[in-house]
Chains A and B, each alone.
Chain A
Amino acid sequence: MKKMTDAEKFSLIRREAIFTAFALVGLIIFWLVAGFGTSGSEIKIFHLPLWAIFGTFGVWFFAIFISWLLSHKIFTDMDLGGDDND
């Protein structure tokens, strides 16, 4: 783990928080398109209309993907300080 100053840590945390906010915006857009956006479709899968599948399971899977992306690709491990460091 790279040694960082407090300033570097807080700058990184700010960047991560901004990415999380972007992820939220992305999820809201996905939710709108997946649900309302496909509600005109007549297609049904397992007796469920497309909007109900994309707007529920689809949103869940997309949120899992976003969480994975944030936690494994964007967020960085860091020492949290104190006497119980990583």
Chain B
Amino acid sequence: MTENFSAILPLLIFMAFMVGISIFVRKNQAEKNFLGNYFVGNRELGGFVLAMTTVATYSSVSSFVGGPGMAYQIGFGWIYMAVVQVTAIFLVLGIFGKRVAILARKFNAVTVVDIIRARFNSNFLAAISAFVIVLFFCGTMTAQFVGGAKLFSAVTGYTYETGLILFGLVVVIYTSIGGFRAVALTDTFCALVMMVGIILLLNFVLQAGGGYSAIMESLEINHPEMFEPFSFGKMPWGIYFTQWLLVGICTIALPQSVVRGISYKNTQGLHSAMLIGTVVVGFMNIGINFTGILAHGILPGNPADYGGVDNIIPTTIATVMPKNLVGLAIIGPLAASISTISGLLIVASSAIVKDIYLHYKKNADNKNLKILSVATTAIIGGIVFVIALTPPSLIWLINMFAFGGLETAFFWILIFGLFWKKANKLGAELSMIGGTIIYCVTQATGFKFFDLHQITIGISASLILFLIGCKLGEPTDKKTLQIFFPER
């Protein structure tokens, strides 16, 4: 494919706009409470922005590239499985939103780790939490960088490295400059662009495929398995079960989602965000995966004919979109990628600056703190950028590995920590360390139960270890319990 400058022009404008938002936010940032401003936007998010930033951080490049590619291969069973993600927003905001918001205001907390430290009175657990966040976030961010740059290269004809520099470096720069508030605003814009991108691509796929009826009639004849929930054995029940855990129920414990509970202004905003977020996440999921299935109208072969499932959407974009609109269509998936990177980057940075550095150096002055926060964000982003320059294979697996690791580490700690008085320090430490190690070992060795994803082992192990720890360990002191479980 030849290089096509018109294909990257809209992307250049888009990225310049993102940087512009970030500079604007930085200039208008209040001088007082730098940390609160930089890491949680001073708790000023309204309902719409809260919904959009939560959805955008949650929806990654996998949702826009790997997912619809699988829908192309499997059929409607894939959408039936993917739609479980409609639970993600109302669950995390409904279960943790208010509790986390009130506790954060009590402790002046700006990170999830702040709350974990206060609940279990454990600096060790806080340090481990910060380490787990940085480790798994780096994995997820690498997957986003690689996925985005590969998509860019496949569609525009420019090199992988050009794509990485164009959108990868820019996202690191604008996140470093503007902090969480810039992330939230750019995420909102990204989510809107993703929706427009889906509509645009769907429209051109239908046009190029000869219309909805023609495509569907052809599918009914040539791919009857796509109209069956188990897709003639390609979608076993185990995938449905584990996806409910992996991208449904357990996503409530993802630190990048829970931290949104610290950042909103009032409960009216939270309530609106639950509704708006559910509408948006469902639209994106069904819209892009349905588009993946309809791509059969223009790509009649098998995924292997187009270089595998990850190449279905890039090939579709390159095939159906007019040359001058390719740039617009690619912004949608890249927006999914950059909004996830920015959301993770700011939380990873806060884990190092707030949860580790500041805990041991409480009297750091404001000026140094500003430089340190911006530098830490830039350095983490830079490290991931360098890793992505030599792309690891199996992006989808890296992403899912990191997702499962975070869920194993934080699910019971947050659920029990915030809703069960008997949850104690030993239980939390055993659960996080033991569960995460067991999860990683089963991933590394490929060990599975009943062919289910290792999240089932990780989450079960962390539950058992938590309960053992609670039985053997000291109960939490009364003062802490009175803060977390106040009595009349």
Spot the interface stretch: B101-109, B159-167, B179-187: B101-109
Q: Is the CB of A64 within 8 A of B268?
A: no
Which of A6, A39, A52, A71 is most buried by chain B, counting CB atoms within 10 A of its CB? A71
User: Given B80, B90, B267, which contacts A55 in the complex, CB threshold below 8 Å?
Assistant: B80
Bound complex: CA of A8 vs CA of B102, how far in Å?
13
Assess the A6–B486 pair: CB atoms within 8 A.
yes
Flag A8-20 by CB within 8 Å of B: 1 or 0 each.
1110011011011
Known: A60-B282, A78-B98. A72 touches B271 (CB 8 A): yes
The yes or no answer to B417 lying at the interface (CB within 8 A) is no
Residue pair A68, B275 in contact (C-beta under 8 Å) = yes
Stretch at the interface among B81-89, B401-409, B431-439: B81-89
Q: A17 contacts B244, CB within 8 Å?
A: no
Interface size range of chain B in the complex: 35 or more
Minimal beta-carbon separation of A52 from chain B (angstroms): 4
Chain A 30-86 interface residues, beta-carbon cutoff 8 Å to B: 31, 35-36, 39, 46-49, 51-52, 55-57, 59-60, 63-64, 66-68, 70-72, 75-78, 80-82, 84, 86
- Residue pairs across A and B with CB atoms within 8 Å: the count is 150
List the A side residues contacting B86 at CB < 8 Å: 27, 59-60, 63-64
Q: Say yes or no for B365: interface residue by CB 8 A criterion.
A: no
B485 at the interface (CB under 8 A from A): yes
In this complex, the member of A5, A47, A48 whose beta carbon has the largest number of chain B beta carbons within 10 angstroms is: A47
**Which of B213, B228, B266, B487 meets A80, CB within 8 Å?**
B266
Residue of A nearest to B96 (CB): A17
Given contacts A75-B267, A77-B267, contact A10 B91 (CB under 8 A): no
B178-214 Cβ-contact flags toward A at 8 Å (1 or 0): 0000000000000000000000000000000000110
Asked if B486 and A36 sit within 8 Å, CB to CB, the answer is no
> Are B278 and A64 interface neighbours, CB within 8 A?
yes
Q: Does B24 contact A (CB under 8 A)?
A: no
Which B56-79 residues have C-beta < 8 A from chain A? 76, 79
With a CB–CB cut-off of 8 A, which chain B residues contact A68? 275
- The secondary-structure label for the interface of chain A is helix
B286 and A57 form a contact (CB under 8 A):
yes
A49-B267 CB under 8 A given contacts A13-B98, A20-B95, A66-B90: no
Query: What separation, in Å, do the CA atoms of A57 and B86 have in the docked complex?
Result: 11
Question: In angstroms, how far is the closest chain B Cβ from the Cβ of A67?
Answer: 4
Pairwise interchain contact B282-A63, C-beta atoms closer than 8 A? yes
Given that A14-B419, A23-B90, A47-B217 are contacting pairs, would A36 and B229 also be in contact in the complex, using a CB cutoff of 8 Å? yes
Chain B residues closer than 8 Å to A10, beta-carbon distance: 99, 102, 485-486
Task: Kindly state the interface size class of chain A when it binds its partner.
Answer: 35 or more
User: Any chain B CB within 8 A of the CB of A29?
Assistant: no
CB-defined contacts of A13 to chain B, threshold 8 Å: 98-99, 102
- Closest Cβ of chain A: how far from B267's Cβ, in Å? 5
Interface residues of B in 261-293 (CB under 8 A from A): 265-268, 270-272, 274-275, 277-279, 282-283, 285-286
Point out the residues of chain A lying under 8 angstroms from B227, CB to CB. Answer: 48-49, 52
> B229 near A9 (CB under 8 angstroms)?
no
Min CB–CB distance B120 → chain A (angstroms):
18
Q: Inside 8 A of B216's CB, which chain A residues have their CB?
A: 46-48
Closest to B237 in A: A36
Among candidates A8, A28, A63, residue contacting B90 with C-beta atoms closer than 8 Å: A63
Chain B residue, CB-CB nearest to A61: B282
Cβ-closest chain B residue relative to A60 = B282
A20 touches B91 (CB 8 A): yes
Is the beta-carbon distance between A64 and B282 smaller than 8 angstroms?
yes
Q: B80–A56 contact, CB under 8 A? A: yes
Give chain B interface residues in 225-265, CB to chain A under 8 Å: 227-229, 244, 249, 265
Is A35 within 8 A of B80, CB to CB? yes
CA–CA, A76 and B244, complex, Å: 29
CB distance B102 to A80 under 8 Å?
A: yes
Whole-angstrom distance between the Cβ of A14 and the nearest chain B Cβ: 7
Asked if A52 and B94 make an inter-chain contact with CB atoms under 8 angstroms apart, the answer reads no
Query: Which chain B residue lies CB-closest to A19?
Result: B94
Most A CB atoms within 10 A — which of B42, B99, B213?
B99
Judge whether B90 and A67 touch: CB under 8 Å. yes
B43 contacts partner chain A, Cβ-Cβ < 8 Å = yes
Report Cα–Cα, A67/B101, bound state, in Å: 19
- Beyond A51-B76, A66-B90, A86-B267, 8 additional contacts (C-beta under 8 Å) are A9-B98, A10-B99, A20-B91, A56-B79, A59-B83, A64-B275, A64-B282, A84-B43
Subset of 20 A-B contacts with CB under 8 Å: A5-B488, A10-B485, A10-B486, A17-B99, A35-B80, A46-B216, A47-B212, A47-B217, A48-B227, A55-B79, A59-B84, A63-B282, A67-B278, A78-B98, A78-B267, A80-B101, A80-B267, A81-B106, A82-B105, A84-B44
Using CB atoms and an 8 Å cutoff, list the residues of chain A in contact with chain B. Answer: 5-10, 13-14, 16-17, 19-21, 23-24, 27-28, 31, 35-36, 39, 46-49, 51-52, 55-57, 59-60, 63-64, 66-68, 70-72, 75-78, 80-82, 84, 86
Complex A-B, nearest 4 residue pairs according to Cβ-Cβ distance, in ascending order: A82-B105, A20-B94, A47-B216, A60-B282
